[in-house]
Amino acid sequence: MNIMLFGAPGAGKGTQAKFLIEKYDIPQISTGDILRAAIKAGTVMGLEAKKFMDEGKLVPDSTIIGIIKDRLTEKDCTDGFILDGFPRTIPQAEALEKLMKGMKISLDRVISLNVPDDLIVDRITGRRVCPKCGASFHVEFNSPKVTDICDYCGGTLIIRKDDTAETVVNRLASYHAQTAPLFDFYSDRGIMVEVDGTKNVLEVKEDIFKILG
């Protein structure tokens, strides 16, 4: 089962990916994670990416695609995978499609988690993170027992720079400009399925499982 999770930042892709990993025993492929792993492992593509990053430049699509190719050839992807956070643009989607065609594999489903912008802003700006142990909370959906104090280590919870309202609004604007057009790209290929991401997390999970069978 080759799956792509599609949706704006804060739509719940990471949470749903965990459920899919448990059910189908397939890996989640997140661009950031595999990029860091490739750099740490010192692969050819990882070293190429590091060169660009050390120069303060964006890693080009060709290098990202090369890293994804390396990841898809690993043994744990034999029975499928979950793509999360890639592609972000039409050129990336076209490059990925060409890559997968060459590897004689294809996407079975693209799951679009639909959540309105105002709800996403509420979700993300409500996050609180412990800088000591990394635990994550939410002021409404998963509040700590004591306000702004970590349940696990007693650290003082903080709002990450990426979780401020201004940053979230800017990320959403970028998403709508660059990534949203991919909806039509995958709809035209008959593999895009929409899911109401405003529901309870477990309800969303069940909706996705029904789609995938």
pLDDT band at 38 (very low <50, low <70, confident <90, very high): very high
Residue 71 annotated in active site: no
Average pLDDT, the chain: 94
- Pick the catalytic residue from 71, 127, 128, 205: 127
Catalytic residue among 50, 69, 88, 199: 88
Residue 68 pLDDT level (bands cut at 50, 70, 90): very high
Q: In the block, which residue shows the tokens 């390396």?
A: 70
Whether the pLDDT of residue 213 is over 90: the answer is no
pLDDT for residue 99: 97
Residue 109 belongs to domain with CATH number: 3.40.50.300
Active-site annotation holds for 13: yes
Identified catalytic residue from 13, 71, 109, 128: 13
Show the domain range for 172.
2-26+79-116+166-212
In a domain, 110, yes or no: yes
pLDDT confidence tier of residue 29, bands split at 50, 70 and 90: very high
Mean pLDDT over residues 188-210, rounded? Answer: 96
- The reply to whether 189 falls in a domain is yes
CA distances (Å), 149 to each of 126, 137, 143, 159, in order? 14, 10, 10, 12
58 is a domain residue = no
Whether 133 maps to a domain, the answer reads: no
Q: Is residue 134 part of a domain?
A: no
Catalytic residue among 101, 132, 160, 189: 160
The answer to whether the CB of 110 falls within 8 A of the CB of 211 is: no
Three-state SS string across the chain, please?
CEEEEECCCCCCHHHHHHHHHHHHCCCEEEHHHHHHHHHHHCCHHHHHHHHHHHCCCCCCHHHHHHHHHHHHCCHHHCCCEEEECCCCCHHHHHHHHHHHHHCCCCCCEEEEEECCHHHHHHHHHCEEECCCCCCEEECCCECCCECCECCCCCCECECCHHHCHHHHHHHHHHHHHHHCCHHHHHHCCCCEEEEECCCCHHHHHHHHHHHHC
User: Does residue 186 have a pLDDT over 90?
Assistant: yes
The answer on pLDDT for 162 being more than 90 is: no
- Does residue 54 belong to any structural domain of this protein? no
The pLDDT tens digits of the residues spanning 80-124 come to 999 998 999 999 999 999 999 999 999 999 999 999 999 999 999
Q: How far apart are CA 182 and CA 2, in angstroms?
A: 17
Mean pLDDT of 187-202: 96
160 is catalytic: yes
Q: Domain total for the chain?
A: 1
